[in-house]
Chains A and B, each alone.
Chain A
Amino acid sequence: MAAIEVHELERTYRSRKGVIRRRRTEVRALQGITFEVAAGELFGLLGPNGAGKTTTIKILTTLLLPSGGSARVLGYDPARQPGEIRRRVGHVFGGDRGLYDRLSALDNLRYFADLYRVPVREKRARIASLLELVGLTGRERERVETYSRGMRQRLHIARGLLHDPEILFLDEPTIGLDPVGAREVRETVASLRAQGKTILLTTHYMYEADELCQRIAVIAGGRFVAAGTPRELKARVLDRTVIELETFGVAEPTLERLRSVAGVASIASETREQAEVLVVQSRIGAEIVPALLLELTGTSVGKVITREPTLEDAYVELVGSA
């Protein structure tokens, strides 16, 4: 039996706007996504903002009811058997949510240990070992409001593991962290994976998914796009060459002309520091560069780099074509 089974899952958010003329609006956050996570697997759910990642996690952690489809977590239905699931899973939401700032880390962990029914006899040892795991030993008596974002996030992970859950849901655990903090969180997640914990991780950082996940599902606009190992997903663009052109202010008509150049599979525009970088996926290798530069006549062009495709390129291709 898979640890997590999601079948044609749907969720529609309905809201009303206006005071006198009330208008109903509907947002279809999930439009029938399907995937499975095996026991002991670290599975990544990838997608841009608004793809439906957090909605999926909220449904699986019993905070939200689905509008359609079905889900099973350890064989239990999140909609009808929330109590069974809550006892067996842990969750970590990204950002600053979910901790009491005015309490110390130790008091936070003690409180949540009670909520998660950790036996009193085991509580002290469990908290000590988790503080050790997340590298907060010695800082546990300080108020959470004095913690850096990275420390908070590691404390979140400790909180999520208090009851030794069979599955851990991590919703964008490195969002907003500096590179050092993010690396520390990734190391913690990697050590959990090594312990055989089933983890569902959502992220929109490709290198994070590439580094940590055994399998990945890409979703966009609430729809399933693709699934596979990072290697399998990368293989979809292995025949491509990626050309990065550093430019300064490329207008939309120019981008359209570039897209129509023979051999161009896709173009994405990214802002990096002061420059705009055009990431072009070419089907015919670097020979395409002169044609691209010709279309950019009159535009200031800096460095031009040719490289092998990465998982991020595969992701851009998948999401772009979704």
Chain B
Amino acid sequence: MNALRVFAVGGVTSYRALFNWIDPWIFVPQTLGYPIFEILFFAYLGRFASVQSDRFFLVGNAFMAIAITGFFGMGQAIGGERRSQTLATLLASPANRLALFLGRAVPSMLTGVVVAATAFTVCSFVLRVHFATHELLGLAAAAAVSSFACTSFGLCLGSLGLRGRSVSLFADTVGGSMLLISGANVPLERLPGFVRAVGSGLPLTHGIQAGRILGAGGSFGAAGHLLAREALVGCCYLLLGVAMLRVLEYEGRRSATLETF
């Protein structure tokens, strides 16, 4: 019961305590503005180069917005505690670690979905791309699964915060590389084999493919195997993240890195 409370109430409280973008003057330009301009940039670049449709870039980059909030939201769940110098206080408590850190995932996932949905809506309007209701429902389902997978991956990144200070560098690098590797802006079949192999082990890749099928009016039968792979990737990273939390907390106690900031 307490773990549930730490998960639900604690998650929201820590989100309020640490999420720097909660101020609308920062949240709107940074969290919402960036993905909107990213979608428009790639869509207009695609138009100029006549390589892919607006729909291709719209779906791919709206999913990237989910990934970025998932990576950074969770990635900063521990790094933020380190910066605010509350990590030691938190870790000296008997709270269930899984509930403590996964509780932070829910507001992060919701933020990602809201940001992606807003950017998607604004850019659909600007680019004059229209989706039918059943296509939007399919996209929402793919977005939800991708959000889970990205947040699970973010948990792995976040757990590195128990060992070191530079998690945001990792998240930046991974986030930037996902623009290419995930197939958000380049069709997967045009990428070299080894890049495709790396991408298939990362979150978002299968989610974007499923989103494109569902967003083009395809059935869940056609996209189901991709959604299942995306969910499987998410589950694997979730388990890895939980293991990393345990191991790196112990390692932090051994190497005295829990309080460096």
Asked, given contacts A111-B13, A114-B10, whether A99 binds B86 with beta carbons under 8 Å apart, the answer is yes
In the assembled complex, how far is the CB of residue B94 from the closest CB belonging to chain A, in whole angstroms? 4
Residue among B13, B14, B92, B253 having the largest count of chain A Cβ atoms under 10 Å: B92
In the assembled complex, how far is the CB of residue B80 from the closest CB belonging to chain A, in whole angstroms? 10
The residue in chain B whose Cβ has the minimal distance to the Cβ of A119 is B2
The residue in chain B whose Cβ has the minimal distance to the Cβ of A62 is B92
A315 at the interface (CB under 8 A from B): no
Determine if B253 and A62 form an interchain contact, defined as CB atoms under 8 angstroms apart.
Answer: yes
Q: Which residues of B contact A58 (CB under 8 A)?
A: 88, 259
B122 at the interface (CB under 8 A from A): no
Determine if B92 and A61 form an interchain contact, defined as CB atoms under 8 angstroms apart.
Answer: yes
In the assembled complex, how far is the CB of residue A149 from the closest CB belonging to chain B, in whole angstroms? 14
In the assembled complex, how far is the CB of residue B2 from the closest CB belonging to chain A, in whole angstroms? 5
Q: Which residues of A contact B258 (CB under 8 A)?
A: 63-64
Q: Which residues of A contact B256 (CB under 8 A)?
A: 13, 64
Determine if A115 and B10 form an interchain contact, defined as CB atoms under 8 angstroms apart.
Answer: yes
Determine if A63 and B9 form an interchain contact, defined as CB atoms under 8 angstroms apart.
Answer: no
Q: Which residues of B contact A100 (CB under 8 A)?
A: 14, 17-18, 84, 86
B133 at the interface (CB under 8 A from A): no
Determine if B259 and A63 form an interchain contact, defined as CB atoms under 8 angstroms apart.
Answer: yes
Complex Cα distance, B168 from A38, in Å, reads 46
B26 at the interface (CB under 8 A from A): no
Complex Cα distance, B100 from A159, in Å, reads 18
Determine if B86 and A97 form an interchain contact, defined as CB atoms under 8 angstroms apart.
Answer: yes
Complex Cα distance, B18 from A101, in Å, reads 9
B6, B13, B91: the one within 8 Å of A63 (CB): B91
B16 at the interface (CB under 8 A from A): yes
Asked, given contacts A13-B256, A63-B253, whether A110 binds B13 with beta carbons under 8 Å apart, the answer is yes
A228 at the interface (CB under 8 A from B): no
Q: Which residues of A contact B219 (CB under 8 A)?
A: none
Q: Which residues of A contact B94 (CB under 8 A)?
A: 83, 86-87, 115-117
The residue in chain B whose Cβ has the minimal distance to the Cβ of A98 is B89
B30 at the interface (CB under 8 A from A): no
Chain A 84-115 interface mask (CB, 8 Å, partner B; 1/0): 00110001010011111111000100111011
Chain B 119-157 interface mask (CB, 8 Å, partner A; 1/0): 000000000000000000000000000000000000000
Task: Mark out the residues of chain B between 92 and 120 whose CB falls within 8 Å of any chain A CB in the assembled complex.
Answer: 92-95, 100
Q: How many residues of A contact B (CB 8 A)?
A: 31
Determine if A97 and B88 form an interchain contact, defined as CB atoms under 8 angstroms apart.
Answer: yes
Determine if B92 and A91 form an interchain contact, defined as CB atoms under 8 angstroms apart.
Answer: yes
Q: Which residues of B contact A251 (CB under 8 A)?
A: none
In the assembled complex, how far is the CB of residue A260 from the closest CB belonging to chain B, in whole angstroms? 43
Task: Mark out the residues of chain B between 70 and 98 whose CB falls within 8 Å of any chain A CB in the assembled complex.
Answer: 84-86, 88-95
Determine if B5 and A65 form an interchain contact, defined as CB atoms under 8 angstroms apart.
Answer: no
Determine if B85 and A86 form an interchain contact, defined as CB atoms under 8 angstroms apart.
Answer: no
Q: Which residues of B contact A116 (CB under 8 A)?
A: 93-95
A19 at the interface (CB under 8 A from B): no
In the assembled complex, how far is the CB of residue B258 from the closest CB belonging to chain A, in whole angstroms? 6
Q: Which residues of B contact A107 (CB under 8 A)?
A: 13, 16-17
Determine if B13 and A101 form an interchain contact, defined as CB atoms under 8 angstroms apart.
Answer: no
Complex Cα distance, B2 from A99, in Å, reads 21
Complex Cα distance, B94 from A97, in Å, reads 19
Task: Mark out the residues of chain A between 1 and 54 whose CB falls within 8 Å of any chain B CB in the assembled complex.
Answer: 13-14
Could you show 23 A-B contacts with beta carbons less than 8 Å apart? A14-B255, A62-B92, A63-B258, A64-B253, A64-B256, A64-B258, A91-B92, A93-B89, A96-B85, A100-B14, A100-B17, A102-B18, A103-B13, A103-B17, A110-B13, A111-B9, A111-B14, A112-B93, A114-B2, A115-B90, A115-B93, A116-B93, A116-B94
* 10 residue pairs, one from A and one from B, having the closest CB atoms: A100-B17, A98-B89, A86-B94, A115-B95, A97-B85, A115-B93, A87-B94, A111-B13, A117-B2, A65-B253
Interface residues of chain B, those whose CB is within 8 Å of chain A, are 2, 5-6, 9-10, 13-14, 16-18, 84-86, 88-95, 100, 253-256, 258-259
A13-B256, A100-B86, A117-B94 given. 20 additional CB < 8 A pairs? Answer: A61-B92, A63-B253, A63-B259, A64-B258, A65-B253, A83-B94, A87-B94, A97-B86, A97-B88, A99-B89, A100-B14, A102-B18, A103-B16, A103-B17, A111-B9, A114-B5, A116-B95, A117-B2, A120-B5, A159-B89
